[in-house]
Amino acid sequence: MIGFNNVTYTYPNGMGVFNVHLRILPGEFYFLIGPSGAGKTTIIRLIYMDMFPDRGEINVNRFSSKKIRKSKIPQLRREIGMIPQNFNLLNDRNLFENVALPLHVIGCEKKEIRDRVMSLLIEVGLEDKAYEYPRELSGGEQQRACIARGLVKDPDIILADEPTGNLDPSTAMQIMGLLERINRKGTAVLMTSHNYRLIKELGHRFIEIKNGIIQTG
């Protein structure tokens, strides 16, 4: 589903990720852990082909980083649910509109959009806040809205970049519960975190990255 084959990406300042091997199978819950600056977001960005490796090859579904044409990138991204690190909800749109955005991009009908957005807001417990604006929400609520937005088009992969990063432990656990529930329905989840304790308890497969280099497999 996602495969990294000896991938190296270097930023102009020499930082980056080096010789990364990685395989994530359909339906799997997979952790990528490491301290701040280790290269986790870099790996996420490489997966949705925001940038391309200097060496090696990345495969996501049927797309290869070596062969993909620029015009096909939107198609790849539509198959991925992104939950970005700094939850970038649009401040001038209410939650409903924020969550609906990916569905507008793929051209869903109005009724379908309504149904899917509302059912996801219910799933993340934000149905009462559908018409509120991001500013009016707590960090945890914003994070849940981001998850709803990542999930709304029913992708088979979710990339969750530190979804618990800025949250207090109990809210973090709530988010984890949500992601696990989604995973049990068959969606593969790749989640990054620097919180080792959180991960150890859950017992999912994980790899660790430090200074751009994978430590364990």
Ligand X SMILES: Nc1ncnc2c1ncn2[C@@H]1O[C@H](COP(=O)(O)OP(=O)(O)OP(=O)(O)O)[C@@H](O)[C@H]1O
Residue 56 contacts other proteins per CB under 8 A? no
**Secondary structure of the chain as H, E, C letters:** CEEEEEEEEECCCCCEEEEEEEEECCCCEEEEECCCCCCHHHHHHHHCCCCCCCEEEEEECCEECCCCCHHHHHHHHHCEEEECCCCCCCCCCCHHHHHHHHHHHHCCCHHHHHHHHHHHHHHCCCHHHCCCCHHHCCHHHHHHHHHHHHHCCCCCEEEEECCCCCCCHHHHHHHHHHHHHHHHCCCEEEEEECCHHHHHHHCCEEEEEECCEEEEC
Name the binder of 51 from other proteins, Mg ion, ligand X, none, CB < 5-8 A by kind.
none
- Shortest distance, position 101 Cβ to other proteins, whole Å: 7
Stretch in the footprint of other proteins (CB under 8 A) among 76-84, 121-129, 137-145, 192-200 = 76-84
Residue 164 contacts ligand X per CB under 6 A? no
Residue 134 contacts other proteins per CB under 8 A? no
- Shortest distance, position 38 Cβ to ligand X, whole Å: 4
- Shortest distance, position 120 Cβ to ligand X, whole Å: 26
Binding site for other proteins (CB under 8 A): 48, 50, 71, 73-80, 82, 84, 88, 90-92, 101-102, 104-110
